[in-house]
Amino acid sequence: MQPSLQHRIKSQVHQIDLSPLLDVVFILLIFFIVTTVFVKETGVEVKKPQALSAAQLEKQSILIAITEAGAVMYAGQDIGVQGVKPIIMQLLAKKHMPVILQVDENVPTKQLVSVMDQAKLAGASSINLATVLP
């Protein structure tokens, strides 16, 4: 009897069922996809300049774009340089947020400085330029 018992124990192969592990992995994947917060873009396509020191955008920020044609855009609408100050003042009254300028690389520096001045006059303490890594 003894050899028969040893033979039966050796012949039984134990396998680990991976189905519960796959279920947990897919549930975690779905959780991270759903809870990811995306940064809201301005809706205007600009060719951003490259910078080696580019950093991630903050989730809560005021995004203003300046197109190659010189249009100053906020929330998909052309607000012009003079529209920057009232919009930033209104948004900063609710919550303090940094201002991020998405400027086309072909925009003249004079126009960029004008928009930055308007943002500063509106009370913005943090004005950043959006760039891309090379």
**pTM exceeds 0.85:** no
Per-domain residue ranges for the chain?
Answer: 2-35, 62-129
Hey, what CATH topology would domain 62-129 get? Answer: Nucleotidyltransferase; domain 5 (3.30.420)
The rounded Cα 114 to chain-centroid distance in angstroms is 26
Q: Which amino acid is at 31?
A: F
Instruction: Dig out the tokens for 32 from the structure.
Output: 């991270």
Q: Judge whether 44 and 67 are in contact, CB under 8 Å.
A: yes
At 118, is the pLDDT very low, low, confident or very high (cuts 50, 70, 90)? very high
pLDDT at 11 over 80: no
Query: What pLDDT score does 119 carry?
Result: 93
pLDDT at 113 over 80: yes
Beta bridge partner(s), residue 62? 99
Which of helix, strand or coil describes residue 42?
Answer: coil
Query: What pLDDT score does 64 carry?
Result: 92
pLDDT tens profile 12-35: 666 778 888 889 999 999 888 877
Which of helix, strand or coil describes residue 50?
Answer: strand
